[in-house]
Chain A
Amino acid sequence: MTDQPRRKDLLDIQSLSVDEVNGILDAAVPFKDLFKRSVKKVPTLKGKQVLTLFYEPSTRTKSSFEIAAKRLSADVTNFSVSTSSVVKGESVLDTIDTLQAMRTDYVIIRHQMSGVPEMIARHTDASVINAGDGYHAHPTQALLDAYTVRETFGEIAGRRILIVGDIKHSRVARSTSRILKMLGADVRVFGPGTLVPDDRPEWLQAFANWDAAFAWKPDAIYLLRVQRERQDDQFFPSVQEYHKFFGITAQRFARVRDEGIYIMHPGPVNRGVELVDAVMDYDRSLINQQVENGIATRMAVLYWLKPQSTPLPG
């Protein structure tokens, strides 16, 4: 593999090349290897300042980034944003000014509005990592998912991955389907008609029911988290009905197990909605592996990006 030119920001999957994606995934392997050592830390980003900026609550993604940055010896500051006091518009402008004043090297941002990380990236020297924006993108989730698929199956190309649930409002679905497609997997979706938008890319075919989906012989089923408030917006009548028709019920789990299908989930899991409890103990559940791989891939991303504040070569 050749060395990949470094970028300033990671905003989405779409703007990455296949070589870049493979470069990050390859780099994540030795990072994951470090976790076996007694000293899990390397001095790579010693003296660098990493700021996490989460406008939307998320304990696990934030922790994952924080651990990744700390294992690279960066200094991490969590910039707490009170989501309730965010005034329309004002927040983004203020944020940009604050970032410039703080002279931070990396900013990890999550925002409920699509496009905000891109806006911020345009106005700061710091490297911006999108940790999820609106329904738009969640590139590090996609990278860790791709890493997990590669680690599990050896090769991503030719694998069949079924994504189940709320495609419409899911940045995970958008980014993960795209990265897997880029790397040669066959990705399809299944979910309530209200949540599987017709405007999705043509290659992202949808199944009408579980039988058709199972008949396709997926290698892995990727369950998306159900946002309970969607039932109030009338996207489906109730979570009970969702579970019965679109979840992994006990009966469907038996079929999953018989056919040796792997299960993935971005977390946190709604037990009894997307899946029955028993799935959590299933030996082909990759959910915990996804969490561990999240740290390694995020370390690889931090290693790869190059803040503009650092001097150029020569």
Chain B
Amino acid sequence: MPTTLIKNATLVDVNGLAESPSDVLISEGMIRKIGVGLVSPDGATEIDGSGCLLLPGLFDMNVHLREPGREDKESIATGSAAAAHGGVTGILAMPNTDPPIDTGGMVQSVRDLASKKSSVQLLTAGCLTKGREGKQMAAIAAMAEEGVYLLTDDPSPVADPQLLRRCMEYARQFNVRVASHCSTAALVKDGAMNEGPMAYQLGLPGMPAMAEELAIFRDIELARLTGCKLHIQHVSTVRGLDLIRQAKTDGLDVTCEVALHHLIFTDEAVVGYDTRFKMDPPLRTAVDRQALIAGVVDGSVDVLVSDHAPHTDFEKSADFNSAPFGVSALDFVLPVVNDRLITTGSLSWGAVIRSYVNRPREILGLEPVSVSEGSKADLVLFDPNARQTVSIEDFCSLGHNSPFIGESLQGTVRYVFVVGRMINFA
């Protein structure tokens, strides 16, 4: 196993940045020693970390990898490489592949594929309903036995509340958390963006906030009724978040996540009909955006995610109504967090570590990761001052549907360590 010594990096943990730089020695996949003036052992690789931050690797619990079925959009190899490129050392893949991951066998085969092809720790979620069709319960017990980490029909809601109730009652007994993409189909219909004055002006069919909030309310009540653990995926509205806060206050085991783009953009971005701003849930209002940021700061938002959803250029070059939802986000997670949330004063590094490093691993029951002696060496050496202009050639992901193409971002990932194995982006 390779040995690496990182010199003079500023360590980051849940309390923020360390006051002075340290050296970190990595070997056999673990952090062996942290100190000042450490000397390289024979044969060790030495990396100068001056001016850089050393963070524990992020864990992104909402990504869409498209393998099996749509490897033209993304594969486990390209998607996991994109994750590492963005400073993410662990991902939870959503089960909406083709075929969907809805049996124990599928979970097992994804795990096998991951062990061969993935650059980062790759876990999979499973479907709640067979084929994600919302008609019959999927093989929940079999998937649980194969170690599925979350059950969800994302990016679809389970429309039938009776079926979702049954799924929760059943999943509860295997101690698997149920996750919801919250939406009410009849209210959304062919909606393409947030319902509001912008949608009126642009003449695009709207997706009302209430369609999401009603579903959040319903799913929380079902969790209350069944006692099942519930995770609300990519909440995007102020009232939705308030419902989740109330559930937490009531003592329910309800967690939630927010997608980065909902912290950064609003529906004003849709002017110009740029399909890279078409997401589900849609970009909401400035009020929602501010409330979500406040939620991350106060901890009511448990987790940050990218909701990475790559599409082909061809698919995204359709008109706004017809184009698919989603954004290719993994490649630039950390630079975007730094440029759009940290340097703007919206979030602290402490909040980012809590919601993008610690909480997702806690919720999924994974081994914690930190920059401390004895921890698994999942690390990111990040230069927070090196500016880069994002271009298509920079993507490891096959999806180029990113609003940041052509934008300048402050911050560049230099090295990523996954269980001590070094990936060099310098």
21 CB < 8 A contacts A-B:
A14-B201, A88-B322, A89-B318, A89-B322, A89-B323, A92-B319, A113-B321, A114-B319, A114-B321, A115-B204, A116-B319, A119-B273, A119-B319, A134-B204, A136-B202, A137-B203, A174-B200, A197-B200, A199-B196, A199-B199, A200-B197
**Contact assessment for B273 and A115 in the assembled complex, using a CB-CB cutoff below 8 Å:** yes
User: Is B382 located at the chain interface by the 8 A CB criterion?
Assistant: no
Q: Taking A113-B319, A115-B273, A174-B201 as given, write out 19 further A-B residue pairs in contact, using a Cβ cutoff of 8 Å, ordered by the A residue number.
A: A14-B201, A88-B318, A89-B319, A90-B318, A92-B317, A92-B318, A92-B319, A93-B314, A113-B321, A114-B203, A114-B321, A118-B273, A134-B204, A136-B204, A197-B200, A199-B196, A199-B199, A199-B200, A200-B200
Contact across chains for B206 and A114 when beta carbons are under 8 A apart: no
Q: Contacts A134-B204, A171-B203, A174-B203; is A114 near B318 (CB within 8 Å)?
A: no
- The reply to whether B203 and A134 contact each other, CB–CB distance below 8 Å, is yes
* B192-236 with Cβ < 8 A to chain A: 195-197, 199-206
Binding site for A on B (CB under 8 A): 195-197, 199-206, 272-273, 314-315, 317-323
* Distance in angstroms between the alpha carbons of A133 and B321 in the assembled complex: 12
**Contact between B202 and A114 (Cβ–Cβ < 8 Å)?**
yes
Q: In the bound complex, do residue B203 and residue A199 qualify as a contact, i.e. CB atoms below 8 Å apart?
A: no
Q: What is the chain B residue whose CB lies nearest that of A174?
A: B203
Verify A89–B317 contact, CB threshold 8 A: yes
A170's nearest neighbour on chain B, judged by CB, is B203
Nearest CB of chain B from residue A143's CB, rounded to whole Å: 18
**A83 → chain B, closest Cβ, in Å?**
14
Q: Which residues of B contact A43 (CB under 8 A)?
A: none
- Residues in B with CB closer than 8 Å to A89 are 314-315, 317-319, 322-323
Cβ proximity bits A128-157 to B, threshold 8 Å, 1 near / 0 not: 000001111100000000000000000000
A113 near B320 with CB under 8 A, answer yes
A311 within 8 A of B: no
Please report which residues of chain A, range 230-270, place their CB below 8 angstroms from some CB of chain B when the two chains form the complex: none
Alpha-carbon separation in the docked complex, A115 to B204 (Å): 9
- The reply to whether the CB of A313 lies closer than 8 angstroms to some CB of chain B is no
Q: Is A5 an interface residue (CB 8 A)?
A: no
Are the CB atoms of A115 and B200 closer together than 8 Å? no
- Contact mask A80-116 → B, CB, 8 Å, 1/0? 0000000011101100000000000000000101111
A89 vs B318: C-alpha distance when bound (angstroms)? 4
Selected contact of B204 from candidates A114, A197, A200, CB within 8 Å: A114
Residue A201, interface by CB 8 Å: yes
Is A115 touching B314 in the complex (CB atoms < 8 A)?
A: no
Closest to B192 in A: A114
Measured between beta carbons, the chain A residues less than 8 angstroms from B204 are 114-115, 134-136
Query: By the criterion CB–CB under 8 Å, are B321 and A134 in contact?
Result: yes
Residue ID in chain B nearest A86 by CB atoms: B322
